[in-house]
A and B are shown apart, each in its own frame.
Chain A
Amino acid sequence: MNAAIVEALKARFGAQDFETSEFRGELTVVVPKEKIVEVCTFLKEDAALKFDLLADLSGLDMYTPVRRFAVVYNLYSLTNKHRIRLKVFTEEEDLKIPSVTGLWGTANWHERETYDMFGIVFEGHPDLRRVYLPEEFEHHPLRKDFPLMGIPGSLHLPKK
């Protein structure tokens, strides 16, 4: 099935754009970020593929000079029972990735969480606010350069 998915992607978008890899039967495709919505729309709406469920969306911080951040999309097809993982890399200077909320409603809170934890901005998101941390908090705690015990004075307690 994985080979057929890669074939379908390459037939639709051309081979040059995608890095594919497979590990223990799990297919991973690296997608350029300007094409992510297009690719997701194709994967969701193609009659043979039908990836109708966004199982998970999360962020990654590699802490490398180039391609520091990534967003990972785990897709699942409820009808065909197959999976694919998409990765979109982005640089520290340009933390903007198009939002996929238009395709899967569940992406809304997942993208808000990724924004909260990594500071990745999802363009086109209807309501990009923090989910977990207080609104006035200025840092993104799942980044590798964030200290475990936090930054003193960044979170406030009630007065005694």
Chain B
Amino acid sequence: MGLEHALGDSFITTKLDLAINWCRKNSLWPMPMGISCCAIEMMSFAGPRFDAARFGSEVFRFSPRQSDVMIVAGTTTYKMAKVVRKIYDQMPDPKWVIAMGACTSSGGMYRTYSVVQGIDQFLPVDVYVAGCPPRPDNLLNALITLQQKVQRGESKGSFPAYVGDKKLNEPQVLPIISG
């Protein structure tokens, strides 16, 4: 929002941060990065039975420009990593990443040359979800965990976008509010 940077550090800004973080955490719009089977559970998470709308995350945006959190759901190969990162680079700050499932978090059962052994090698991951695939409740739990992080003002920050070797932007890291 930029307001907190304009006002500097003061009582008003810290309280403003709390309010802004409260707003942010209750409307985390996901960018569904459904690469393989975890995506099915992710759809279920957004559907009526598990109902992510209760947490303000029902609006799956298929445009990175309009989303806050990227849910990477599925086996990420080296070839796909470039695509995932390109979409992540297009998301506006502040942004978060949920690594859904064993493959995304650690390579999972694909211990092989073509699969990235954990997407944290090229993305700042905020929450990891265990399971193969995780149940939708588990993803809801990850969303709630992420909401708590957002409320506390914590973020892994974002990585700068590159075109070739040229850095396009400096990453913005959210201010951390203690207490």
Contacts and interface: CB of A to CB of B under 8 A. Distances in A.
Interface in B74-118: 78-79, 81-82, 85-86, 111-114, 116
Interface in B53-90: 78-79, 81-82, 85-86
For this complex, into which size category does the number of interface residues on chain B fall?
10 to 19
Q: Is the interface of A mostly helix, strand, loop or mixed?
A: loop
Contacts of A156: 78
B79 A134 contact: yes
A44 B9 CA distance: 80
Interface stretch (A9-17, A23-31, A142-150): A142-150
Contact of A133 (B86, B114, B116): B114
A134 B78 contact: yes
Interface hub of B79, B81, B159 (most chain A Cβ within 10 A):
B79
Interface string A113-155: 0000000000000000000111000000100001111110001
A157 B86 CA distance: 12
B112 A148 contact: yes
A155 B78 contact: yes
A133 B81 CA distance: 12
Given A155-B113, A157-B121, A157-B122, A133 B162 contact: no
Interface hub of A146, A156, A159 (most chain B Cβ within 10 A):
A159
A159 B162 CA distance: 8
A155 B121 CA distance: 13
Contact of A149 (B81, B112, B116, B162): B112
Contact of A155 (B111, B114, B162): B114
A156 B122 CA distance: 10
A137 B162 CA distance: 21
A133 B79 contact: yes
A133 to B, nearest CB: 7
Nearest to A147: B113
Contacts of B85: 158
A132 B79 CA distance: 8
Contacts of A158: 81-82, 85-86, 122, 162
Contacts of A155: 78, 113-114
A149 B121 CA distance: 16
Interface of B: 78-79, 81-82, 85-86, 111-114, 116, 121-122, 159, 162
10 closest Cβ contacts across the A-B interface?
A150-B113, A158-B85, A155-B78, A157-B122, A158-B122, A134-B79, A159-B162, A160-B159, A157-B81, A157-B121
Interface of A: 132-134, 141, 146-151, 155-160
29 contacts: A132-B79, A134-B78, A141-B113, A141-B114, A147-B113, A148-B111, A148-B112, A148-B113, A149-B111, A150-B112, A150-B113, A150-B114, A151-B113, A155-B78, A155-B113, A155-B114, A156-B78, A157-B78, A157-B81, A157-B121, A157-B122, A158-B82, A158-B85, A158-B162, A159-B122, A159-B159, A159-B162, A160-B122, A160-B159
